[in-house]
């Protein structure tokens, strides 16, 4: 279950991909949405369940809801359906006022995670050890080097636009020989276009911040970019001194130095550059689609077995799903004012609760 957003997101792309895989293996899986997104950023073939704010929910239904939309969990709490929280960022976990509730404070039966950082968070904070991990996967058909690399620094300013501007200024003054290198912002474009822009760029600045993983730097590696910048905490799962130039959050000079080192490595070439590219390739190959597919199918085969053993008691009920609450979750204070506006759900006409129709596309 998602809420349609107006900006692209790696986490949302991941959910679409999960649904595509499940359908390819015979599972009846859908991406549930209040309204059809205005823009398809992901070129997805995942079936969409457009519910308009009202659903018929019955025994055997399983809802997977991201951590940042707890209002959907609350709405489904009184139904016979099973509720799973798919947490892709521990920094967005919706804490409640009850510190002793455990994961019950999220109104879910269990949690699925996407990275080692999230897995460690729930183990250390909630004492939960049985946490299925669905690893991220990089599509090699989409994220690949372009035919012709250009001397430019690509970056995604969505989370840290002011930081990006500051790093650029520091870089140009600290390394005047590279002051004329173009900087290419990648924002609000479809996934395929983002991959194309990274594929034609020599370098990529990582602006990861408060991440559980951080997909863009890994995608940039797959596109043949030399990468420098913030690890964002969760990026340390795959970032090493061999595959990039990584900086602690707020160390802008280290970001600038890393970009300069990347450009110097390209200028020098030779065995050191070859070793760097080999390390990048090995890192990307660890996050291959086959690994995700295996973990995803194992998870859902287990879920289906547990549902069959439980007897699936209960009756079908109608549920009205509230829109994104007007009272901001605590984590939205971390976002810029512009991003706070963008994550709001689009307003839609009230659904007919008596009919409770939905559309599958």
pLDDT tens figures, 260-308: 999 999 999 999 999 999 999 999 999 999 999 999 999 999 999 988 8
Fold exhibited by the domain 150-286: Rossmann fold (3.40.50)
Give the three-class secondary structure for 260: helix
Radius of gyration of the chain, Cα coordinates, nearest whole angstrom: 22
Q: Has domain 10-137+290-360 been given CATH number 3.40.50?
A: yes
Residue 353: predicted pLDDT: 32
| pLDDT tens figures, 313-345 | 677 888 888 886 644 454 455 455 554 544 443
Question: Across the strands, what pairs with 246?
Answer: 229
* Beta pairing, strands 82-87 & 110-113: parallel
| Contact (CB, 8 A) for 241 and 283 | no
The pair of structure tokens assigned to 96 is 């409640």
Q: How many DSSP H helices and E strands does the chain contain? A: 10, 13
| Contact (CB, 8 A) for 158 and 7 | yes
Q: Report in angstroms the alpha-carbon separations of 194 from 142, 155, 190, 216, 230.
A: 10, 10, 6, 10, 19
What gap in Å lies between CA 328 and CA 224, rounded to an integer?
39
**Is the pTM of the predicted complex or chain greater than 0.85?**
yes
What gap in Å lies between CA 178 and CA 264, rounded to an integer?
10
Give CA 71 to chain center in angstroms: 20
Q: Report in angstroms the alpha-carbon separations of 331 from 67, 131, 178, 308.
A: 11, 23, 38, 37
The pair of structure tokens assigned to 9 is 């997101």
Residue 324: predicted pLDDT: 67
What gap in Å lies between CA 214 and CA 207, rounded to an integer?
9
What is the spatial order of strands in the sheet that 110-113 belongs to?
62-66, 82-87, 110-113
pLDDT surpassing 60 at residue 311: yes
| pLDDT tens figures, 123-166 | 999 999 889 999 999 999 999 999 999 999 999 999 899 999 99
Quote the mean pLDDT of the chain.
89
Question: Across the strands, what pairs with 211?
Answer: 233
Residue 307: predicted pLDDT: 85
Q: What is the DSSP letter of 25?
A: T
Enclosing H/E stretch for 185: strand 183-185
End-to-end CA distance of the chain: 15
Give the three-class secondary structure for 49: strand
Residues of the chain with CATH 3.40.50.2000: 150-286
């Amino acid at each position: 279950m998602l809420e349609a957003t107006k900006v692209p997101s790696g986490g949302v792309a991941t959910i679409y991909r999960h649904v595509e895989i499940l359908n390819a293996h015979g599972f009846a899986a859908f991406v549930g949405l209040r309204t059809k997104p205005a823009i398809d950023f992901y070129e997805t073939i995942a079936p969409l369940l457009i519910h308009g704010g009202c659903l018929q929910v019955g025994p055997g239904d399983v809802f997977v809801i991201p951590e940042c939309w707890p209002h959907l969990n609350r709405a489904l709490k009184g139904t016979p359906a099973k509720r799973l929280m798919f947490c892709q960022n521990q920094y967005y976990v919706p804490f409640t006022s009850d510190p002793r509730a455990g994961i019950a404070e999220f109104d879910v039966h269990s949690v699925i995670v996407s990275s080692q950082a999230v897995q460690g968070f729930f183990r250390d904070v909630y004492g939960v050890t049985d946490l299925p991990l669905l690893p991220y996967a990089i599509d090699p058909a989409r994220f690949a080097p372009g035919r012709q690399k250009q001397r430019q620094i690509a970056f995604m300013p969505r989370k840290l636009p002011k930081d990006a501007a500051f790093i650029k200024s520091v870089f140009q003054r600290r390394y005047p020989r590279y002051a004329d290198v173009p900087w290419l912002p990648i924002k609000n474009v479809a996934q395929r276009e983002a991959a194309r822009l990274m594929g034609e760029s020599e370098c990529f600045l990582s602006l990861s911040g408060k991440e559980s993983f951080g997909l863009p730097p890994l995608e940039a590696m797959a596109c043949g970019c030399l990468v420098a910048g913030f690890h964002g905490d969760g990026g340390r799962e795959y970032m090493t001194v061999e595959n990039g130039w990584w900086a602690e959050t707020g160390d802008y000079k280290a970001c600038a130095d890393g970009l300069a080192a990347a450009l110097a490595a390209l200028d020098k070439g030779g065995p050191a550059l070859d070793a760097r590219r080999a390390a990048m390739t090995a890192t990307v190959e660890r996050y291959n689609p086959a690994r995700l597919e295996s973990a995803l199918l194992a998870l859902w085969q287990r879920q289906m077995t547990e549902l069959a053993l439980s007897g699936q008691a209960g009756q079908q009920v109608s549920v009205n799903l509230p829109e994104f609450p007007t009272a901001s979750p605590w984590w939205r204070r971390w976002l810029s004012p512009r991003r706070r506006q963008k994550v709001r759900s689009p307003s839609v006409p009230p659904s007919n609760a008596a009919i409770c129709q939905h559309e599958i596309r």
